[in-house]
Amino acid sequence: MTDRIPDHPFRRTHLFTLRLWVEPVAADQAEIRGRVQHVLTGEALYFRTWPALLAFVEEKLAELEAKYPDSGKENQP
């Protein structure tokens, strides 16, 4: 991947793909499992809990904000 965020008005938006499925764990029990991927970097995480999903998204947003601190600020009101 490139080290540059594309130059367009939506540079501060981020695209994630999310896949969810039900995984049987016992005769009468199932868990929701998932996979989230940050489209720009390609980094992905398989998860079993909502806090793990949220932590991944927050981590990616913080990493990109640190890497591109002024990205898109000129487009904000």
Residue 60: domain span: 16-69
β-pair partners for 22? 32
Confirm whether 22 is domain-assigned.
yes
User: Based on C-alpha coordinates, what's the Rg of the chain?
Assistant: 16
Element (H, E) at 17: strand 16-26
Condensed to tens digits (0 to 9), the pLDDT of residues 14-68 reads 899 999 999 999 989 999 999 999 998 899 999 999 999 999 999 998 888 887 7
pTM, to two decimals: 0.70
CA distance 18 to 37: 7
CA distance 77 to 70: 14
Query: Residue 3 — very low, low, confident or very high, per pLDDT cuts 50/70/90?
Result: low
Confirm whether 6 is domain-assigned.
no
Confirm whether 59 is domain-assigned.
yes
Q: Which residue has the tokens 């398989």?
A: 46
Total tally of structural domains belonging to the chain: 1
Confirm whether 9 is domain-assigned.
no
The pLDDT of residue 41: 87
Condensed to tens digits (0 to 9), the pLDDT of residues 32-45 reads 999 999 998 899 99
